[in-house]
Structure 1
Amino acid sequence: MTAAGMNVDDLAARARDTRVVVVGGGLAGLAAAWRCAKVGMAVTVLEAAPALGGTLRRVELAGTTVGAGPWGWSSRGGAVHELVDDAGLTDRVVEAAETATWLARVPKVGAVPAPEASILGIPENAWDESVRAVIGWGGTWRAYLDRVRPPLTIGNERNLGTLVRARMGQDVLDRLVAPLSVGGFGLDPGEIDVGHAVPKLNAALTRTGSLQSAVAELRATRAEEGGVPPLKSLDGGMPQLVDALAARLAERDVQIETGTRVERIVRVGDVYEVAVDEDHVLVDDEGEEGESSPTRVADLVIVATGETDARRLLGGLLGRDLGAARSVTREIVTLVVDQAALDALPRGATVHAVPGTGAADSVVVESARWAWLAGVLGAGRHLLTVAFGSSREAPATEGLSDADAIELARSEAEAFLGVELPAVAGAHRARFELARPASALGQPEEAAEIRARVAGISGLGVVGAWISGSGLARVVADAGDEAERVRRARLFAPERGQ
């Protein structure tokens, strides 16, 4: 017997009688659907787009199949590895190559390597030559004041931008810290919460007496603990994880409907009515159109859409306006170029610009990070991703035609990498809602409030980067935890009258 007084057969029977609708077929939705399907629940996945995957969408470029979204995951935690194992792709896991990060369009300097001895761009020694090359003598002398100023009290400053400016000056903030936060997360340093981004930084600052010494102490601790977990991916690209999960779900008789936008979700008694676009027509495996009810009835509903739709659907269920989406609009232009000069990685694999100095925020040479991709493309051919748009400003590509956006991306990549890119062999343009990281100011608190309200409604869950924080590792772990909460509440709920 289980702790709830039910035996395994009872639990299995209850699982089989439980109807689950997952709204959204991105990685979070598929992970949540898998968690429910594994125990025998009857699951339906409804995806508004023509194909599953969300940001892990598939792109064909110059004869190569790649993804247009995230290229890998942080190996911290084991949630993604577990999902990859379940999908049968363990033997395809690969690790990113160690490559340098550069800074571009540094005033009066140009392009230089980013200092390695740093955290979030904050250097452990302002006098280091690699730091002085970026901020100059004036910036170095200003940063030196950090060594002689009184330390802050523990937890006194949460705003990363304010902390760095006060301790080390504007040049460190603008030229070292901002390029990483804007290029990587689309956020200004003033939108990053120090306590969540580097939980022990303020305490180390109080203990050591300076921000630079605090960074040095934390870096030493990280080194003792094995360093920063490497970035991992799949040989052949991340979209294959979507395909493999879809196949596993099909084996469990999960119903997957694409091109199906959910208009609203209504709680009626003990069940949910999930209303979809009335013009939707279900197409079976043979390609034949059939009847499709505009309403799905479910015992459990897990909302796994992007932020805008999730706030709309949950707001209706919770009876309150959840406000506008806070995600950043970002456009990624993926380019395949023929340029043998890039084989030598003259500026590493990742180049972030000083914000406000040009159109693009960052350029990544993905073929330098992933050996499998370099092998597929061949010597002299490279794949680049060029990112536009942050919380500071809309993407510079907004309103441009595809041809003009691609040309802008080419010219920006040329400037960032310092090599001529005379022609583009293939290109793709994608627009995303870039979710804020869990380290964004106010994000954890707002997420916790929404989660608490959702948990107050029986059989309802919510997953996705906008609620968990960005990053595939965090998204997958959170999706598993939330699906587990919802399914356990259903399986172990007492029978009526007990």
Structure 2
Amino acid sequence: MAEPEGRTEPSLPQRRTVAVVGGGIAGLLAARRHLRAGDVVTVLEAAPRVGGRVSRLELDGLELDAGAESFAVRDGAVERLVRELGLEDRMVAPAPTPAWVVGPTRAHPLPAAGWMGVPVDPFAPDVVSALGRLGSWRVWLDTLLPVSKPAASATAGSVIRRRIGRRATTRLVEPVVRGIYSRPLDELPFASLGKGVAEDLAAEGGLVALAAARRQASPAGSAAMGLEGGIATIAEELARQVRELGGAIRTGADVVSVRPDERDGWLVEIASDKRPVRVGALVVAVPQSEAYRLLPGPERREEPRKPGRAVLVTLVLNAPALDSAPRGTGVLAVGGVTRAKALTHATAKWRWLAERAPGRHVVRLSYDARAISGLDREGPVTSAGSLAGQALADASRLLGVTLTPAQVRAHGVVAWPDSAPSEHAPGWDAPHLEVVGSAAGLSGIAAIVSQDFVLSNSQERMTA
């Protein structure tokens, strides 16, 4: 039967175009989520490769993690993602050897049972060894002190020092927390140590009880896991899925500005393009300081805290003296003993890496950029005033082994924005705008993956 004259087929709904600014884990997760919802998605990443802090560093023929090399298992979010990506067979636990704490006059293993360095049992042998009998009694005193919810402005340093004393705070908590958040205790809000931590301190009746409760709530086994081949495998698999779903990924695409389009949607200006790109929706998945630079809105009148920089120096060494892992899987520094705040003996921590680097050792040193101001980040290890030379000296001090420039096969330096969570979550409110990951004030892979699960579930309910 012929169609009536003038009748036309109904047009299909036009698919929404989405630009994702930032190709780290948060941006790749957002891209995948929007592709699954039927959007046309392009990821714009300024760096030569995607992954952000979850990317590769190639040294001496080894593919190493440039940033994160493990993930927290406390809420199972990353493990769920790993299984969803089909990477569960690659999950590995770190070696059970404890990390060490090195100070100006003493070095000791970090107590095994604790939360953020706060001991669960003040009189455990490893706690007494680290603090002495008097220090352990001072920690126990926390169980008798009156407790109330800390003020919103209270710093982690002020709360913890008051509860368990200066010695335990300096020797145990400060190195652990600084290693995680790249900020001193007295610059970090106590509330940033975990969701509901201020309320739980009062509810549990003290810091030791809070540590015990948090420890008990954690899954059995290792508090962190890794992947054979490195955590960067997660980003690589996500990028593969984004492309498989029809998404585009542009690397070397430096976004210089974004602004609302008068005709709805957003205009995205890329440094290498002659004209702005018009999209129906925008996802911002960049460090928070960059988000403040890009996004319009009232929040820009509130100057955010100036972010720090976390700098990682990786050394590949020929050092037989490290075969016995003299300081376990890593070291936390206290008391200004080195410019480095922490060291990871990666080939002692991860068996798979040791097998891929026979006869070699890989160590990673973490720095606050302020601590290495003035050092030459590009110079060779033999150059006076070079960061590589400083890292070698710091590694010698922290590992208790003399290391020489001749033992360095290769080294690499990478820098990341401050990893501390935001003191307040920005509330950019604009049509067709989504802010995720670090831009939303989140810190760590687990928090970012958890956010994506929440947004995915919400999206599914809206489209059901």
TM-score (norm 1): 0.80
> Equivalences for 1:157-172 in 2 at 5 Å?
158-172=154-168
The alpha-carbon deviation at position 348 of structure 1 amounts to 1.0
Match of 1:276 in 2: 270
The alpha-carbon deviation at position 259 of structure 1 amounts to 1.2
Shift in CA distance, 246/163, structure 1 to aligned 2, threshold 3 Å: closer
Match of 1:259 in 2: 252
Shift in CA distance, 20/407, structure 1 to aligned 2, threshold 3 Å: same
> Equivalences for 1:317-328 in 2 at 5 Å?
317=297, 320-324=300-304, 326-328=306-308
* Aligned counterpart in structure 2 of residue 405 of structure 1, from 387, 396, 403: 387
The alpha-carbon deviation at position 367 of structure 1 amounts to 1.4
The alpha-carbon deviation at position 32 of structure 1 amounts to 0.5
Shift in CA distance, 293/388, structure 1 to aligned 2, threshold 3 Å: same
Is 1:458 matched with 2:452? no
Match of 1:395 in 2: 372
* Aligned counterpart in structure 1 of residue 330 of structure 2, from 322, 341, 350: 350
The alpha-carbon deviation at position 92 of structure 1 amounts to 2.6
- 1:184-235: per-residue Cα shift (whole Å, max 9, x none)? 221222344445535676677667765445545654x44xx64466322322
Aligned partner of residue 372 in structure 2, secondary structure: coil
The alpha-carbon deviation at position 317 of structure 1 amounts to 4.9
Match of 1:384 in 2: 363
Aligned partner of residue 45 in structure 1, secondary structure: strand
Does structure 1 conserve the Cα–Cα contact (< 8 Å) formed by 2:282 and 2:433? yes
- Count of residues in correspondence between the two structures: 446
CA distance in 1, matches of 2:180, 2:458: 32
The alpha-carbon deviation at position 156 of structure 1 amounts to 6.2
Does structure 1 conserve the Cα–Cα contact (< 8 Å) formed by 2:284 and 2:439? no
CA distance in 1, matches of 2:375, 2:300: 32
* Aligned counterpart in structure 1 of residue 396 of structure 2, from 390, 414, 422: 414
The alpha-carbon deviation at position 357 of structure 1 amounts to 2.8
Quote the sequence identity (%): 30
Does structure 2 conserve the Cα–Cα contact (< 8 Å) formed by 1:36 and 1:483? no
Is 1:93 matched with 2:91? yes
Match of 1:6 in 2: none
Match of 2:320 in 1: 340
Aligned partner of residue 111 in structure 2, secondary structure: coil
The alpha-carbon deviation at position 137 of structure 1 amounts to 5.5
> Which one is further off, 32-41 or 131-140?
131-140
Shift in CA distance, 355/195, structure 1 to aligned 2, threshold 3 Å: same
Is 1:188 matched with 2:184? yes
Match of 1:153 in 2: 148
Aligned partner of residue 426 in structure 1, secondary structure: strand
Question: What amino acid is the match of 1:250?
Answer: R
CA distance in 2, matches of 1:76, 1:42: 34
CA distance in 2, matches of 1:60, 1:201: 39
CA distance in 1, matches of 2:371, 2:275: 36
> Which one is further off, 43-52 or 476-485?
476-485
Match of 2:440 in 1: 467
Shift in CA distance, 97/270, structure 1 to aligned 2, threshold 3 Å: same
Match of 1:435 in 2: 419
Match of 1:178 in 2: 174
Match of 1:330 in 2: 310
Is 1:49 matched with 2:47? yes
Does structure 1 conserve the Cα–Cα contact (< 8 Å) formed by 2:73 and 2:219? no
- 1:309-356: per-residue Cα shift (whole Å, max 9, x none)? 211112x25574352454321110011112233232221112101142
RMSD: 3.1
Aligned partner of residue 402 in structure 1, secondary structure: coil
Shift in CA distance, 300/66, structure 1 to aligned 2, threshold 3 Å: same
Match of 1:362 in 2: 342
CA distance in 1, matches of 2:461, 2:371: 42
The alpha-carbon deviation at position 160 of structure 1 amounts to 2.6
The alpha-carbon deviation at position 475 of structure 1 amounts to 1.4
CA distance in 2, matches of 1:417, 1:482: 44
Shift in CA distance, 466/113, structure 1 to aligned 2, threshold 3 Å: farther
Question: What amino acid is the match of 1:65?
Answer: E
The alpha-carbon deviation at position 420 of structure 1 amounts to 2.5
Does structure 2 conserve the Cα–Cα contact (< 8 Å) formed by 1:267 and 1:317? no
CA distance in 1, matches of 2:292, 2:90: 36
The alpha-carbon deviation at position 263 of structure 1 amounts to 1.7
Match of 2:7 in 1: none
Match of 1:286 in 2: none
CA distance in 1, matches of 2:233, 2:211: 39
Q: Give the unaligned 5+ runs of structure 1.
A: 1-9, 281-291, 438-442, 493-498
* Aligned counterpart in structure 1 of residue 235 of structure 2, from 236, 242, 250: 242
- 1:406-429: per-residue Cα shift (whole Å, max 9, x none)? 111111111111123231111101
The alpha-carbon deviation at position 28 of structure 1 amounts to 1.0
Does structure 2 conserve the Cα–Cα contact (< 8 Å) formed by 1:19 and 1:43? yes
CA distance in 2, matches of 1:144, 1:351: 26
Match of 1:424 in 2: 408
- 1:77-124: per-residue Cα shift (whole Å, max 9, x none)? 44434443454434333332323011012x43x211112233222224
Question: What amino acid is the match of 1:464?
Answer: G
Match of 2:3 in 1: none
Q: Give the unaligned 5+ runs of structure 2.
A: 1-9, 381-385
* Aligned counterpart in structure 2 of residue 232 of structure 1, from 225, 235, 240: 225
Aligned partner of residue 70 in structure 1, secondary structure: coil
The alpha-carbon deviation at position 248 of structure 1 amounts to 2.0
CA distance in 2, matches of 1:319, 1:205: 31
Shift in CA distance, 410/208, structure 1 to aligned 2, threshold 3 Å: same
Match of 1:295 in 2: 276
Match of 1:312 in 2: 293
CA distance in 2, matches of 1:207, 1:486: 35
Shift in CA distance, 477/218, structure 1 to aligned 2, threshold 3 Å: closer
CA distance in 1, matches of 2:164, 2:274: 62
